[in-house]
Chain A
Amino acid sequence: MSKSAIIIGGGAAGMETASQLARLGIEVDLIEKQSRLGGHLNSWDRLFPNRRDSKEVFEYLEQDMNDGISLHLNAEIETILKAGDRFTLSLRDGKELHSDALVIATGYEVFDARKKEEYGYGIYDNVITSVELEEFFRNNKQKNLFEGIKSKRVGIVHCVGSRDEKAGNLYCSKLCCVTGVKQAIEIKELMPDAEIFCFYMDLRMFDRHFEEMYYEAQEKWGIQFIRGRLSEASENPDHTLLLKLEDTLTGLPLKMKVDLLILLVGFIPSPETRRLAAMLGLKEGDDRFLCPADEHTITNSTTIPGVFLAGTVKGPASIASTITDARSTALQVATYLK
């Protein structure tokens, strides 16, 4: 009798874990609460650093979503029980699923920018998040966003909800910096006469070709990087925004006007990740992401035999890292089930 695994979460991590396990001959149930697979991949337009269309990555992941994988969309988990080595999951629609292993791949959510009240998201007309900008690009509606803007000055705020004790998130979300650089270039391509200002604490260009993008942004596109955290934004009578911050390299306060403010929102664990962790008794770190059995050597398993982690349930990660991690998780699951 073949072994089986249930994977919770149909984003990049869940899809790749599922396809790898199916290839290894393991029966897979893939549970997704939304009506379609892809998770946050469906929100992004082009991916850093080469700005390929995110749909290509989705199509790559989707091509293996067939043999050996039972897909459960719009599915919500009510209970998880473990008896011996077997797991039983009850879904809200009354369905019951059984497996020998369980993979948590429920990912992350973006930080709610409204919590940084001083930036005026949800109150001022021209403050948006980096996710919303991606949606404009993805739906080819970016012209709507910049319509009527004459001077075309855009501010991009890094670390919104990350590395922020007041927001309760001390960790770095890692990918906001490169997202900001990518989006700055994309706006500049769209509006060559725009002035773009990135407000940053550090620029953490840690991965391959990230640093090159940062150089390109400065040398080719003239994007200005100002080291300083935004203190507050206010709305002018013409709906432009008045920004106040300190340029910490010159040590001077700065006051400037922009037409559009983009907030680079960081990662937080998804509520579903935290709910499942509580249900299963999985350990959360002080950043509220889930802890693997060992941070260095056993990064895909948990302390509960048969329960595995994949992707951004363990912390912020790029799509490439998430897919790599998912393959590693699949190998761990297959070894466990052998």
Chain B
Amino acid sequence: MKIEGKQRIWLDYQKEIADDHFFYVRSCVRQNFFPGSEKTFLRILQSELSKDIYENPSHTTCSGIGYHTDIVPFATSMTMVARQFALMTEAGYENFTTSCITSFGLYSEVLETWHHFPETEEKTREFLHKATGREFKKPNNVSHASDIIFRFRKEIADKGKYRLVNQRTGQPLKVVEHIGCHYSKMFPSKGVGGAEYPYVLVGMIEDWGGEVIDYPERRHCCGFGFRQYLVQANRGFSISCSKKKFDSMEPYKPDMILTNCPGCPMFLDRWQYAISEMEGKTYGENGHGIPVLTYEELAGLVLGYNPWDLGLQVHQVPIEPLLDKIGIPYDPEMKFRGADGQDLGKPDPPSVLKFYTEKV
């Protein structure tokens, strides 16, 4: 593998990422899957970086999941996207920031459609006005939340308390990165680093001290692929996709997986449990799984946030082996307690995947 070849491609795919004053739209599913991620993103931007970021509580789904499963027609999706832009316009913002890569893909697709077929934009304006009486301006900048963390990755590293380095060996942690299909596969120029060798997560990993693993099935879908999962009869495809990736990355002995999309960490995390129950197979060290993190969670760990404030206790694959490697302290007794100390109850341990009980 020649890193200079990748670096040349990365130079070809630089994108403009706004510096401040963000209008933030959340993901439909992340708050259930990994509830600390979006909160951590806001905390980092506001408390660490002193940025202005605003979210309007009346924003809705972008309709991306419905669109990609052929439930919501494109004209409807465009109108819903237009409504989000109207909320941004009314709030006086011009930089649109999405938490979800499917949303990011859909916003990019809608804006491209309007660019190439201006009559669709006019029609959408008409639909929105008839339905809500709203008007909108198109954003000056559309960035995914990971683009913004990428942009400020060096500042995060400078403020950070921890590096992605194994404390016992002194070696960089080996990190698998997975950007998700809707980030740049549809519009390579919209993603940092393009579609084939994306750099958005790689840049974070490198600047935070880790080493990126490039494995043969790196580009493969995580297994979410809406029709693979939302249609119950297709779920075998979903877990097969994830398994294909785990089998491919296993020889490299990754310390963790870093993800970009709301769905990818869900499936790469939960399916490790399902595979262990179905086949008795685990992919981490000594019967553990490979911890899966969102980029906000990882940024939070680097900055020294309490792992349980980041919501890492809701991960199916226990996160503690990774915390031990980095040298991040944590209180095991607080793992399943709420913010007010209330006992939330412990889940039953899985039958195969090692449930973390003591430090290794």
Contacts of B218 in A (CB 8 A): 234
| Cβ-based interface call for B8 (8 A) | yes
Q: How many residues of A contact B (CB 8 A)?
A: 15
Q: Are B216 and A123 interface neighbours, CB within 8 A?
A: no
A contact set with B: CB distance below 8 Å? 114, 117-118, 120-125, 232, 234-237, 242
Contacts of B252 in A (CB 8 A): 237
A20 to B118, CA, bound (A): 57
Contacts of A114 in B (CB 8 A): 5, 8-9
Q: How would residues 1 to 20 of chain B score, 1 for a CB under 8 Å from any chain A CB and 0 otherwise? A: 11001101100000000000
Q: How far is the CB of B245 from chain A (nearest CB, A)?
A: 12
> Contacts A234-B216, A235-B216 hold; do A125 and B9 have CB atoms under 8 A apart?
no
Query: A118, A121, A235: which contacts B1 (Cβ < 8 A)?
Result: A235
A90 to B129, CA, bound (A): 64
A121 to B214, CA, bound (A): 15
A317 to B1, CA, bound (A): 35
Q: Are B194 and A236 interface neighbours, CB within 8 A?
A: no
Q: List 10 A-B contacts (CB under 8 A).
A: A118-B196, A122-B5, A123-B2, A123-B5, A124-B1, A236-B216, A237-B215, A237-B251, A237-B252, A242-B217
User: What is the count of residue pairs linking A and B with beta-carbon distances less than 8 angstroms?
Assistant: 40
Q: Are B217 and A123 interface neighbours, CB within 8 A?
A: no
A114 to B7, CA, bound (A): 12
| Cβ-based interface call for B197 (8 A) | yes
> Contacts A114-B8, A117-B9 hold; do A123 and B219 have CB atoms under 8 A apart?
no
> Contacts A122-B2, A123-B5, A237-B251 hold; do A117 and B194 have CB atoms under 8 A apart?
yes
Contacts of B197 in A (CB 8 A): 117, 123
Q: Are B8 and A234 interface neighbours, CB within 8 A?
A: no
Closest 7 CB pairs between A and B?
A123-B5, A122-B5, A117-B196, A234-B216, A242-B216, A118-B196, A237-B251
Q: Are A235 and B8 interface neighbours, CB within 8 A?
A: no
With both beta carbons as reference points, the residue of chain A lying nearest to B3 in the complex is identified as A123
> Contacts A117-B9, A232-B219, A234-B216 hold; do A123 and B194 have CB atoms under 8 A apart?
no
A125 to B219, CA, bound (A): 18
Contacts of B219 in A (CB 8 A): 232, 234
Q: How far is the CB of B112 from chain A (nearest CB, A)?
A: 16
